[in-house]
Amino acid sequence: DAGVIQSPRHEVTEMGQEVTLRCKPISGHNSLFWYRQTMMRGLELLIYFNNNVPIDDSGMPEDRFSAKMPNASFSTLKIQPSEPRDSAVYFCASSPQGALSAEQYFGPGTRLTVT
């Protein structure tokens, strides 16, 4: 299995631009998670999906952030408009069970820099 795939691996954009991060979970996993990692705040859970349905988006920082999962093999995290404070590494993870208590498999991350 290829594991969780994220694209792009690096993204540099200017403030105000729209940014879309993509994730392909491991085939057969029915839960998907988006995290943000910064030096200041560590790892933060932004949102997670079970069977393509958003379950908890309480970690999404602002309305500028949105996430979708149109099917079991694809998810996007969009930031519009982007701001310099959004600079971070964004991780996607998937899990074979429909609960946070199961282990999660992480992708390599997308390093976002907003100038």
Partner 1 sequence: AQSVTQPDIHITVSEGASLELRCNYSYGATPYLFWYVQSPGQGLQLLLKYFSGDTLVQGIKGFEAEFKRSQSSFNLRKPSVHWSDAAEYFCAVATGGAGNQFYFGTGTSLTVIP
Chain residues binding partner 1 by CB under 8 A are 4, 33, 42-43, 45, 91, 93, 99-101, 103-109
Minimum distance, C-beta of residue 111 to partner 1, in the bound complex (Å):
9
Minimum distance, C-beta of residue 103 to partner 1, in the bound complex (Å):
5
Q: Which residues contact 100 (CB under 8 A, 6 or more apart)?
A: 31, 48
Is the separation of the CB atoms in 33 and 45 below 8 Å? Answer: yes
Torsion of CA 86, 91, 96, 100, to 10 degrees: -50
Minimum distance, C-beta of residue 81 to partner 1, in the bound complex (Å):
27
Q: Between 12 and 15, name the residue whose CB sits nearer to partner 1.
A: 12
